[in-house]
Homo-oligomer: A and B are copies of this chain.
């Protein structure tokens, strides 16, 4: 079940970049959720190529067609099948990939493992698969909205340009006002310029996305091997180009003493809160009612419009240079993917918590 994500709320995905369609099945979605299909499409549009000047100019409509599981506007508890047709394929751009392996792509490993691959546009290993996740995430978001849980992701670093304040310092309503999806307009402009500069040289750049989940109640997460933060880490690391994950003060808290890092409890207006939140809202793998926040680091896009050394399927050394239309930086389009994976993870834990509630 390597193409399935989740325990109770499960998304199974299929599809190659240049095949007929990509799609998915959501199993375990409870009945009774009102599905606003325009919201689902709006989420897809946030990930869609061609949405701004700093992403790939490919034009994919990315229109989702729901095939089952929704009746008279509501989920029915039966599996939700859906497809997204592939349309704007320039497969000829990829003919050279039939026998040549792109550096830091999955061409070589897929070919070696499976003995065959759909090489066009990266096939199954293409980030095009993440469009399917957006649909699953949109359904999960709709369900979480009724539970008042809010999930917000944003670009916090591109190359060396980074936000320097804690997330609380920023106005999240500004995130969608710029193409990099950064809540700090000044930083956003610098990031955008950096992406443009990098692209001019045929090069690419990576960065960090921060995600915050608010109003998650205490008790979501299933120790020992399904801890909330481990599931979030697993979700993030499943996204193409992700190289690392941390939550709370993570790697940045490595030099602190326990007395500096611990989150002491106090009562505030009758509620249990922590004075600090270095734990990122999670203790022992279970949410503690504070904000959940975490970081995900993305490597630079591996596809370069520059010459690179590589080998081909005959074991001969050769030179490769990408053709076609590519993203110089994935982060702007990855923000909604991070949110989608977070939404599915959290909603799954909500359902697990129902199943594991005390008698």
Give residues in A with beta carbon < 8 Å to B. 1-5, 8, 10, 12-16, 19-25, 27-28, 30-33, 65-69, 71-72, 74, 76-81, 83, 101, 103-106, 108-110, 112-118, 123-125, 129, 143, 146, 157, 159-160, 198, 203-208, 218-219, 221-227, 229-231, 233-234, 237-238, 243-251, 253-267, 270, 272, 274-275, 278-280, 283-288, 297, 299-304, 306, 308-311, 315-317, 351-359
From residue A132, how far is it (CB to closest CB) to chain B in Å? 10
From residue A231, how far is it (CB to closest CB) to chain B in Å? 8
Determine the chain B residues whose CB is within 8 A of the CB of A270 once the complex forms. 315
CB pair B108 A206 closer than 8 Å: no
CB pair A114 B317 closer than 8 Å: no
Measured CA separation A221–B71 after assembly (Å): 21
CB pair A355 B124 closer than 8 Å: no
CB pair A124 B76 closer than 8 Å: yes
CB pair A258 B28 closer than 8 Å: no
What is the total number of copies of this protein in its complex?
Answer: 4
Assuming the contacts A14-B67, A244-B247, A358-B32, asked whether A238 and B267 have C-beta atoms less than 8 A apart, the reply is: no
Q: Of B4, B68, B315, which is within 8 A of A272 by CB?
A: B315
Determine the chain B residues whose CB is within 8 A of the CB of A4 once the complex forms. 1, 4, 10, 12, 27, 225
Chain B residue with Cβ nearest A14:
B81
CB pair A317 B157 closer than 8 Å: no
CB pair B254 A247 closer than 8 Å: no
Chain B residue with Cβ nearest A303:
B258
Measured CA separation A327–B286 after assembly (Å): 23
CB pair A31 B358 closer than 8 Å: yes
Determine the chain B residues whose CB is within 8 A of the CB of A223 once the complex forms. 2-3, 106, 124-125
Measured CA separation A118–B317 after assembly (Å): 54
Determine the chain B residues whose CB is within 8 A of the CB of A306 once the complex forms. 259
Measured CA separation A284–B127 after assembly (Å): 10
Determine the chain B residues whose CB is within 8 A of the CB of A23 once the complex forms. 67-68, 81
CB pair A79 B14 closer than 8 Å: yes
Assuming the contacts A297-B251, A355-B352, asked whether A27 and B3 have C-beta atoms less than 8 A apart, the reply is: yes
CB pair A261 B300 closer than 8 Å: yes
* Cβ-closest 6 pairs across A and B: A106-B284, A244-B246, A14-B81, A204-B258, A230-B237, A258-B300
Measured CA separation A233–B74 after assembly (Å): 33
Q: List 16 A-B contacts (CB under 8 A).
A: A13-B79, A20-B65, A30-B356, A31-B114, A32-B116, A103-B264, A103-B274, A104-B283, A109-B284, A114-B358, A143-B359, A206-B253, A207-B254, A227-B237, A258-B300, A265-B311
Determine the chain B residues whose CB is within 8 A of the CB of A355 once the complex forms. 8, 28, 351-352, 354-355
CB pair A255 B159 closer than 8 Å: yes
Chain B residue with Cβ nearest A118:
B71
From residue A76, how far is it (CB to closest CB) to chain B in Å? 5
Determine the chain B residues whose CB is within 8 A of the CB of A261 once the complex forms. 104, 206, 299-300
Measured CA separation A326–B57 after assembly (Å): 52
CB pair A250 B244 closer than 8 Å: yes
From residue A249, how far is it (CB to closest CB) to chain B in Å? 7
CB pair A243 B253 closer than 8 Å: yes
CB pair B108 A265 closer than 8 Å: yes
CB pair B250 A243 closer than 8 Å: yes
